């Protein structure tokens, strides 16, 4: 049986990026960004994804060794158009052009992992029963995008998760961005939203924002600012930050893990695509840009 530090489950996405009058086609998806961030930290990383027939070449885009890339065929690939509406890339209109098949409990391979990471893109990627299955096998990390973002006639809309209070107690690490936190709790204050999500049962709650990454563990708030010198690599911010945090958290306390994750994603955002650096690059960036936080 293969053993991993993190096992990431999610779809790749054929992304169409529209920004300031230009169009760019990139391969994205939370599983891609999360896998690169995990590998950069030196973690033994496995993943499960689904692809359409004829898309096998997409699997070569992972930095994970081929023997650790588990995959199944899907009727379609997921494809998403992201139209950024503001210069800071915080406002965007997302349209689902096609959606891959969901992951079922019987799709999960016989592996052992310290953390199982659900890196979804669209509600329906994961049936709720998968939360029970994976929580019984190890620590469960969940990005709420895969439960809140719905495709209605292609247009992406965010809706609250109806069964959140029945499921959050099974999640060790929960990630939301500021908008998702408000949708789930009705609270605009990020700290109060994190406090409420923890009160509903989530373990360590991460709230990402364009200014900072925040963690609440039920007793204390931890924050580290994001200090990117440009935003050309904005896409994949939350996916990279969350993956870096949950993997680093297996060897470090919360403050050190959060600093590492914030530094990695700040550096990642300076270059389009997934983070292709190393732990050494992140540590050098911390010395250069986060000296006051050390």
The CATH number of the domain covering residues in 2-293: 3.40.1190.20
Chain centroid to CA 147: how far? 12
**Backbone phi, psi, residue 264, to 5°:** -60, -45
Q: Is 215 exposed, middle or buried (0-12, 13-18, 19+ CB in 10 A)?
A: buried
CB-based contact 214:194 (threshold 8 Å): yes
* pLDDT confidence of residue 136: 96
What is the pTM (predicted TM-score) of this model?
0.95
Q: How far apart are CA 260 and CA 278, in angstroms?
A: 12
Q: Taking the chain, what is the end-to-end CA distance rounded to the nearest angstrom?
A: 39
Give the tokens for residue 267: 């550096």
- Average pLDDT of the chain is 95
* pLDDT confidence of residue 212: 96
**Which pairing describes strands 173-177 and 45-52: parallel, antiparallel, or unpaired?**
unpaired
Cα–Cα separations (whole angstroms), residue 282 to 214, 231, 276, 287: 19, 17, 11, 9
CB-based contact 99:124 (threshold 8 Å): yes
* pLDDT confidence of residue 88: 65
Q: How far apart are CA 161 and CA 46, in angstroms?
A: 28
Chain centroid to CA 94: how far? 17
Cα–Cα separations (whole angstroms), residue 46 to 20, 39, 279: 36, 10, 18
Give the full edge-to-edge strand order of the sheet including 45-52.
69-74, 45-52, 2-9, 111-118, 139-143, 173-177, 204-208, 212-216, 221-225
**pLDDT tens-digit readout, 96-126:** 999 999 999 999 999 999 999 999 999 999 9
Check residue 89 and report its DSSP letter: S
* pLDDT confidence of residue 90: 65
* pLDDT confidence of residue 76: 98
Q: Where are the domains of the chain?
A: 2-293
Cα–Cα separations (whole angstroms), residue 12 to 42, 93, 247, 292: 22, 19, 20, 37
Give 155-220 as a DSSP string.
EEEE---TTHHHHGGG-SEEEEEHHHHHHHHS--SHHHHHHHHHHTT-SEEEEE-SSEEEEE-SS-
Stretches in the chain below the pLDDT threshold 50: none
Radius of gyration of the chain (CA): 17
- 73 SS3 class: strand
């Amino acid at each position: 049986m293969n053993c991993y530090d993190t096992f990431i489950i999610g779809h790749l996405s054929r992304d169409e990026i529209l920004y300031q009058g230009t169009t760019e086609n990139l391969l994205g998806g939370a599983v891609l960004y999360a896998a690169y961030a995990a590998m950069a930290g030196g973690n033994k990383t496995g993943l499960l994804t689904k692809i359409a027939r004829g898309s096998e070449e997409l699997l070569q885009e992972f930095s994970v060794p081929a023997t650790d890339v588990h995959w199944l065929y899907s009727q379609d690939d997921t494809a998403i158009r992201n139209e950024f509406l503001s210069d800071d890339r915080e406002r965007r209109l997302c349209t689902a052009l096609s959606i891959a098949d969901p992951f079922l409990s019987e799709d999960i391979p016989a592996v052992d992992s310290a953390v199982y990471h659900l890196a979804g893109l669209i509600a329906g990627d994961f049936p709720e029963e998968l939360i029970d299955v994976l929580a019984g096998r190890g620590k469960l990390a969940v990005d709420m995008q895969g439960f809140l973002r719905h495709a209605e006639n292609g247009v992406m809309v965010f809706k609250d998760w109806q069964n959140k209070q029945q499921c959050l107690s099974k999640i060790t690490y929960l990630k939301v961005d500021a908008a998702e936190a408000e949708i789930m709790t009705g609270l605009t204050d990020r700290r109060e939203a994190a406090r409420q999500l923890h009160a509903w049962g989530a373990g360590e709650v991460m709230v990402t924002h364009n200014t900072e990454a925040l963690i609440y563990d039920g007793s204390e708030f931890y924050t580290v600012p994001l200090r990117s010198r440009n935003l050309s690599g904005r896409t994949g911010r939350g996916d990279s930050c969350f993956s870096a945090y949950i993997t680093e958290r297996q060897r470090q306390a919360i403050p050190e893990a959060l600093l590492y994750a914030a530094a990695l994603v700040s550096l990642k955002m300076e270059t389009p695509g997934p983070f292709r650096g190393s732990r050494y690059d992140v540590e050098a960036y911390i010395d250069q840009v986060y000296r006051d936080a050390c």
